[in-house]
Amino acid sequence: MIGEPFIMVCCSDFAGQVRGKGFPAAELERRRKLGVGLAPTAMMINCFGRITDSPWGPRGDLVLMPDDDPRAAIHVDFEDGTPPESFILGDILTLDGKAWQCCPRSYLRAANKELEKEGIHILAAFEHEFYYDGVPDRLGSSYSVDAIRLARHFPNVLIAALRQGGLEPESFLPEYGPRQYEVTVRPALGLQAADRAVQLRELTRGAARRLGARAIFSPMVTRGVVGNGVHIHFSLVDLEGRSVSYDPSHKYGISSVAGSFLAGILRNADALCAITAPSVISYERLRPNSWSASQTNLGFRDREACIRICPVNEKPAADIASEYNFEFRAADAAASPHLQLGVLINAGVQGVRERLPIPEPTTRDLTQMSENEKMRMGIRPLPQSLSEALDLLESNSRARDLLPQELLEAYIMQKRGEIRQLEGQSDEEVCRRYADAY
Ligand code: GLU
Ligand code: MG
């Protein structure tokens, strides 16, 4: 069969879907100057492929411009006779070449710039869990060698694809749930960390598809069965790349700048869920006893904290500093990684600018703490539904300030449409639809 190399330029949109337009690879140089045309309303396509509402209707024109940075481009040949995965991430610009207010990737770029004004960069890695439907569900296979064996070539193919894509794969493991796996890559700075998350999701889907299966990132595949989380690990570094997160004199090692950054996130964390955990079923996962997150706490080595202080082995302080990191757990893969990281950075920067005090970490089971104690520590429950999260975002002026107004309004409009679209459907049907979509 004949076949010519083909490239897509794309972006991770409000729905956390990677969408864009394609052209023959021979056109790339021209497309680097021209980009590809896009209607603003394309951003309003929800995760189920529907436009329920749009602030722009059929009006307006934008340009999706492929990023020249080679790290934004994926070209992975699976060498199995299928065409390679070839896509380049890009920014959405207005026709006069400015960043479009609703472009998630441009939003993250702007957040990084604000952080840089404080003399800081963020180093981050998105840890992903997903279901792989190419394996039988064997009782007792959690974390087992047999779960890897059952997946046959999948782990090997996936790791090779991530390596070829330049993502620096770090781990692949069987997880607790039936057919559930987890994959991680090395941390990277700001924009590249979120780009890697987008690329990782697509390469994982690409590897699974080539083996006749699907990788499903939906936060809750089966109600009542453990969910798929995205845990966003991060640390702060100075402009030379030295960690500024760690202070050996603090009981838990938190530096004052990192503490302010964490406090900025935590005081808005309930409202931020509308961005970081943005599907109707995301809230089935954010419940107590799910090993996810259910309150706005900072937890010391606690896998149910909203932000966890991750463990580091005992070693000299200089070595600890380079490994010391925090993990934001109230996130999932229904969101755009660019929006997720951008909103966390903007919230953290607010905290740094206001010099908020270091939050007091929790060390005990939250269900054992009294309401008074939690109130004293500023710990509130996370929202119980997407609708509640959107209300919190809309009514909290400090949280609203973290997003450009046009983006915020369009985003909320899309999410409310998504909720309406699911009205009247059974819980099982809703889970099934999200599993199809992600
Ligand atoms: N599956 C859990 C979640 O939804 C995370 C389990 C773990 O700590 O790896 O976040
Ligand atoms: Mg895990």
Dist CA 293 CA 159 (whole Å): 29
Does 129 sit in the ligand 1 pocket, CB within 6 Å?
yes
Say if ligand 1 is within 6 A of residue 227 CB: yes
Distance CA 275, CA 340 (A): 6
Q: How far apart are CA 32 and CA 334, in angstroms?
A: 29
Q: What's the CATH number for 6-100?
A: 3.10.20.70
Q: What's the topology of domain 107-437?
A: Creatine Kinase; Chain A, domain 2 (3.30.590)
CATH 3.10.20.70 range(s) for the chain read 6-100
| Number of other residues whose CB lies within 10 A of the CB of residue 122 | 26
Query: Of ligand 1's atoms, which has the minimum distance to the CA of residue 329?
Result: 10
Ligand 2 centre distance from Cα of residue 84 (Å)? 29
**Tokens encoding 325:** 């990191």
Q: Look at residues 297, 280, 279, 277 and name the one whose alpha carbon lies nearest to residue 231.
A: 277
Looking at residue 137, its pLDDT comes to 86
* DSSP H/E element including 408: helix 405-422
Q: Which of 381, 364, 226, 382 has the alpha carbon at shortest distance from 301?
A: 364
Protein residue closest via CA to atom 6 of ligand 1: 291
Q: How confident is the model at residue 139 (pLDDT cuts 50, 70, 90)?
A: confident
Of the listed ranges 133-142, 302-311, 313-322, the one predicted with least confidence: 313-322
**Band of residue 360 on the pLDDT scale cut at 50, 70, 90:** very high
Is residue 301 lining ligand 1, measured as CB closer than 6 Å?
Answer: no
Is the distance from CB of 323 to CB of 375 less than 8 angstroms? no
In the chain, CATH 3.30.590.10 covers 107-437
pTM above 0.85, yes or no: yes
pLDDT for the residue 297 = 97
Please write the tens of the pLDDT for every residue from 65-86.
999 999 999 999 999 999 999 9
Q: Which secondary-structure segment (H or E) carries 340?
A: helix 337-353
pLDDT tens-digit readout, 21-65: 999 999 999 999 999 999 999 999 999 999 999 999 999 999 999
Q: Verify whether ligand 1 is closer than 6 Å to residue 226 (CB atom).
A: yes
Q: Give pLDDT, residue 242.
A: 95
Per-residue confidence (pLDDT) for residue 315, from 0 to 100: 78
Please tell me the predicted confidence (pLDDT) of residue 324.
94
CA 84 to CA 75: how far, in whole Å?
7
Ligand 1: nearest atom to the Cα of 127: 9
Specify the pLDDT at position 313: 80
pLDDT at position 207 is 98
Distance from C-alpha of 218 to C-alpha of 438, rounded to nearest angstrom = 5
> Would the CB of 303 count as within 6 Å of ligand 1?
yes
For residues 253-266, average pLDDT: 98
Which amino acid, residue 203?
L
Is 138's pLDDT higher than 90? no
Q: Quick check: 227 pLDDT over 80? A: yes
Per residue in 140-173, pLDDT (tens digit) is 899 999 999 999 999 999 999 999 999 999 999 9
Ligand nearest to the CA of 181: 2
CA of 305 to the centre of ligand 1 (A): 11
Kindly tell me if the per-residue pLDDT of 280 is higher than 90.
yes
CA angle 377, 383, 388 (to 5 degrees): 135
Distance separating the N- and C-terminal Cα atoms of the chain: 31
Given the DSSP bridges, would you call strands 6-12 and 85-93 parallel, antiparallel or unpaired? parallel
| 318, pLDDT greater than 90 | no
